[in-house]
Amino acid sequence: MADMLAFMKKVNAQPTTMGRRNVLAAGAVGVGAAGLLVACGSDDEPAASTPGPQETGAAPSASAPSASASGGAAAPANALASTSDIPVGGGKIFPERQVVVTQPAAGDFKAFNAQCTHQGCQVSQVQGAEIHCTCHGSIFSATDGSVLGGPAPSPLAAQAITVEGESIVLG
Ligand code: FES
């Protein structure tokens, strides 16, 4: 405490020198604060001006098909996907609708409940003519949902779909 008092007396005795030091110190704080503000600003700008990966990644698999990308025709309100979203000889899983749609042959669309009949995991991959559940390795046919391998006791349940123009509609 005595050292502090001596320091304060010295400061009062040399106001010009200490004043300059204080100005320099305040400037350093100001520069540091400005740096923090710049850093904060640069972190915020990309998130505010560009869509995040979740936004861009979610769009193609959203419940509504990309009507604007397919020529602007209005898709039915309950459309699941565009026919062009489903590869021939493959398929696509729609997690939010719990359905997997396949196209074993051109123009031949099939749909199945995406919940594995083993222990209820959602199937995770369509590889050619096979639908895979990677929880425990069950494999189902992309043509009829039958069990091709693994512990699943029964086929994937078929889901009714209709093709309306370029849209695949559940039901
Ligand atoms: S839940 Fe699909 S293999 Fe077990």
Mean pLDDT by 10-residue block, N- to C-terminus, for the chain (171 residues)? 43 42 38 37 36 30 41 75 97 97 97 98 97 98 98 98 95 88
Q: Which residues, at least 6 apart from 168, have a Cβ–Cβ distance to it below 8 Å? A: 65, 79, 80, 81, 82, 83, 85, 86, 101, 109, 111, 161, 162
Identify whether the C-beta of residue 96 lies closer than 8 Å to the C-beta of residue 64: no
CATH superfamily of this structure's domain 54-66+75-170:
Rieske [2Fe-2S] iron-sulphur domain (2.102.10.10)
Identify whether the C-beta of residue 144 lies closer than 8 Å to the C-beta of residue 110: yes
Separation of CA 128 and ligand 1 centre (Å): 19
Q: Which residues line ligand 1 (CB under 6 A)?
A: 116, 118-121, 133, 135-138, 150-152
Per-residue pLDDT, 95? 96
Q: How far, in Å, CA of 155 to CA of 168, rounded?
A: 22
Ligand 1: which residue has its CA nearest to atom 1?
A: 119
Per-residue pLDDT, 126? 98
Per-residue pLDDT, 76? 81
Per-residue pLDDT, 138? 98
**Encoded amino acid at 44, one letter:** D
| Full-model pTM | 0.60
Q: How far, in Å, CA of 66 to CA of 155, rounded?
A: 31
Separation of CA 137 and ligand 1 centre (Å): 6
- Match 């929880």 to its residue by tokens: 135
Per-residue pLDDT, 18? 43
Q: How far, in Å, CA of 167 to CA of 171, rounded?
A: 12
